[in-house]
Chain A
Amino acid sequence: MNLNQLTITEAKKGLKKKKFSSVDLTNACLEQIKKYDKHINAYISVTEEKSLKQAEKADQKLAQGDNSPLLGIPLSIKDNFSTRGVRTTASSKVLDEYIPPYNATVVSRLLDAGMVMLGKTNMDAWAHGSSTETSDFGTTKNPWNINHLPGGSSGGAAASVASYETIAAIGSETAGSIRQPASWCGVVGLKPTYGRVSRYGVIAMASSLDSPGPITRTVEDSALILEVLAGKDENDATTSEKTTATYSKNLNKDISGITIGISDDYFQGVDEEVKQAIMDTYKPFEKLGAKIKKIKLFDPKYAIAVYTILQRSEVSSNLARYDGIRYGHDRSFFGDEAKRRIMLGTYTLSSGYYDAYYKKAQQVRTLIIKDFEKSFGEVDIIIAPTSPTTALPVGASKDQSMFGELADMLVEPSSIAGLPGINVPAGFSKNRLPIGMQIIGPQFSEELILNIAHKYEQETPWHTTKLDINL
């Protein structure tokens, strides 16, 4: 097993036992990047020199007995997180030369926890998409089949984990941008409750929806990263005061008696293979003592409308600061997708249309939230396919103005309601493309969904499937 194929848990163990060093781990990842990233294009910026310096420092600290939670572990960071002194582009030409003078809170916390930053990963420009094809820095390819897309907008992050170009990654989700690429790339992606992790320093997409989160090989790794990221931030007024938990502590808790909800509405328009894979999860869940219960959920097709309006409205305002005056290039450098979204959002907020669009969407949002609250009175968690399909071929999103929204129909409702959701691998299609299942819980139920996800993961073979990259 190559060092870059380890999980965080395994890497930590090995570092502690002095089987290898952080420099070894980092070099293994850098080697993998050098070998394959020209085909996969998961990274926009690789910070080789910096990362090796960080690794050296980590090794010194390890020798002194420092036990910071992520000490010496190489991670990749999605390129919408501000990293001081390191170019941050949001995959847009507008910011192709922008170097932030400050760190996002997530980045500060990871650095304090001892991480080694390998570089910044590719994404849909401004996070506007579910394919990573709208990046101004080229498409990222799916490591399972490079003629297919990795999903988005955290496509680079998911691909970097799946291709062993990093031990783990940090992404962000507005509606699907962690869970969907995790699903298409066969890895674990956690979107925490909105307000659980600070957005300070994350280039804003939709302020009332954006949630940073980890993309990892295992559920345990996801829990370990969440422990570092979660918590109130005085720089972000929308972070919750609720106490965080040691998310990795109770992963093995017995889940017998847990009721799992599943809705037929969430099978609408879903590929047969994907549907089958989800239904195949009932057996392992029942084996673990959980009960599957059919429930009725607010039809997700309305979530598409709500999300489209809310997101584009907030985007039109959040992207107003990019005028090229204080930093970056002027607005003519925006790509088509960004321009479209800004325009639509300007329209839905404009005089005479605000009530019919923005206000209406916020009202339906209330109904969706209430609907979930009702359901969580009947069941403990909800499962569903993460995406209606497996990874689509490269080019599938071109000139499709609603590509993302339609592809993310199944994740939009929980995002709109601010709920936490996790994607876990749930099988493969006939042509060996990963299929993902999402587990959704009530607000701040990360401990619960991680527990259930971990039990499912351990009960199934998917997480042990190694990807043989032959490029």
Chain B
Amino acid sequence: MNFTPVIGLEVHVELKTNSKMFCRCTADYFGKEPNSHTCPVCLGLPGALPVPNKLAIEWCIMIGIALDCKIPLFSKFDRKNYFYPDLPKGYQISQYDQPFCVDGSITLSNGKKIGITRVHMEEDTGKLMHSGDDSLIDFNRSGVPLVEIVTEPDFDNAKDVKEYLQKLQQIVRYLDVSNADMEKGNMRLEPNISLKKDGEMGLPNYKVEVKNINSFRFVEKAIDFEITRQKELLEERETPKQETRGWHEAKQKTVSQRSKEEAQDYRYFPEPDIPPLRFEESYISTLRSKMPELPDEKMNRFQKEFNLSLYDSELLIRDKESADYFEKTVEDGKKFDINPKQIANFIINKKPNLSEVLPAELIQQITASRQTSHIDESELDEIIKSVFENNQKAVEDFKNGKESVIMFLVGQVMRTSPVKLDAQMVKEKLKNALL
């Protein structure tokens, strides 16, 4: 039997706003004393009320725009009701049927188009830690703005999933709305995985949600493990149980958590404490105009404008800071007749520390490395002579036809020389000397 994986992704991105989603507590909770950044609202005290963060909403919409989504002009918040100790109000303020962004897509490097079902806004829960028989809860994280990005079940392999995550992380960092650090928990992934028998129509009649994948390193592994696990079951003619499983890093496998069979009834209803949002077209247009150039766009432009290879462009635009640095350096390079290709090569091969070197300084370094000094013919002849004497085997090899040895000899000359020489010139001289 042949099976094809059917994978859909739910990614949560924590926004790096100053304040939380519905209150004015600082959203920067990492590493702080427990329960020291809470207020009646995010602690769920009696009588507290939510007031939404305008910037968070804007950023959510910008993520949607970057993913080519439609932005409906009317939206609202809804209550998602369920009980869990890390959920102070006994409901999460989220979005149900009228989210901020819908129907987008993203294209992978292999040309595959992944559908983005929706991008919506919600609030994070507190952090629950297990300690023996007890659980300890820190509500500092409660109320931090989260953007949830849901894809269509368009993935069929783990590698594509990883690439999608990398692209998403890159986009979100380009927009400067999140640090999207999986290890720090500000980007979280929950794949839904099932397998379809080849030839089978429609979607499989089950799906398994995998939680707790906390680093990029294990994304492919976790998904591949789950695919294998399901394949084995299906080959035994067993349908995998519809459930939530957790990735166990130490054991390097997924383990069963709670059954999704009795699907939770979240009893969604419109959030009465928050009036709905109605946008003007002009507002959405303003947000579109505020969008920075996104990674793919920039990559294409670098290829065309600077005559760079796809490979080089992709490396240079990896993060926005480096890309901006490169362009600044190109500007500076014009005065010194250094072209973008040379700059690209230098940055990619020499890997200078861009945070310590100003673009103008980098140009100086490049110029210096290209400059060669003058040397007296006689001095050069002396050097060549001593190199031949010290490397008789190499000379022999060259004379016997091993052409590549010339570069070794060039290198030796360059090292021995007190000043920088033009490698090409040295090579020519050596060749003539040896013939």
Contacts and interface: CB of A to CB of B under 8 A. Distances in A.
Direct contact of A and B (CB under 8 A): yes
Nearest to A239: B49
Interface in B75-115: 79, 81, 83, 85, 88-91
Nearest to A210: B272
Nearest to B265: A351
Interface string B11-26: 0000000000000000
Interface stretch (B37-45, B220-228, B293-301, B318-326): B37-45
B46 A354 contact: no
Nearest to B270: A362
Contacts of A319: 90
Interface in A356-390: 358
Contact of B273 (A88, A102, A237, A321): A237
A396 B90 CA distance: 34
A346 B264 CA distance: 13
A254 interface: no
Given A238-B275, A320-B83, A358 B269 contact: yes
A349 B49 CA distance: 21
Interface string B261-283: 00001010100111100000000
Contact of B45 (A102, A207, A235, A323): A102
Contact of B47 (A202, A237, A320): A202
B185 interface: no
B45 A320 contact: no
Interface string A212-256: 000000000000000000000011111000000000000000000
A317 B90 contact: yes
Contacts of B380: none
B48 interface: yes
Contact of A236 (B49, B83, B88, B265): B49
B50 interface: yes
A204 B89 CA distance: 12
B88 A200 contact: no
B269 A95 contact: no
A237 B91 contact: no
A326 interface: yes
Interface residues on A, range: 35 or more
Nearest to A201: B47
A89 to B, nearest CB: 10
Nearest to A88: B46
B83 A100 contact: no
A204 B272 CA distance: 11
A87 interface: no
Q: Please report whether the interface of chain B is mostly helix, strand, loop or mixed according to DSSP.
A: loop
Interface string B34-69: 000000100111111111100000000000000000
B87 to A, nearest CB: 9
B137 interface: yes
A401 interface: no
A170 to B, nearest CB: 14
A211 B313 CA distance: 61
Given A199-B49, A323-B85, A346-B267, A237 B274 contact: yes
Given A238-B275, A317-B90, A346-B267, A203 B85 contact: no
Contact of B49 (A200, A323, A327, A350): A200
Given A238-B273, A238-B275, A204 B47 contact: yes
Interface string A334-352: 0000000000001001110
A104 interface: yes
Contact of A321 (B51, B90, B267, B269): B90
B267 A354 contact: yes
Given A100-B47, A203-B46, A237-B50, A349 B85 contact: no
B81 A326 contact: no
A200 B81 contact: no
Contacts of B50: 237
Given A317-B90, A319-B90, 7 more contacts: A80-B47, A202-B47, A204-B47, A207-B273, A235-B51, A237-B50, A317-B79
Interface of A: 80-82, 88, 90, 95, 98, 100-102, 104, 199-204, 207-208, 234-238, 313-314, 316-317, 319-323, 325-327, 346, 349-351, 354, 358
8 contacts: A81-B47, A201-B40, A201-B48, A317-B91, A322-B46, A323-B85, A349-B81, A351-B265
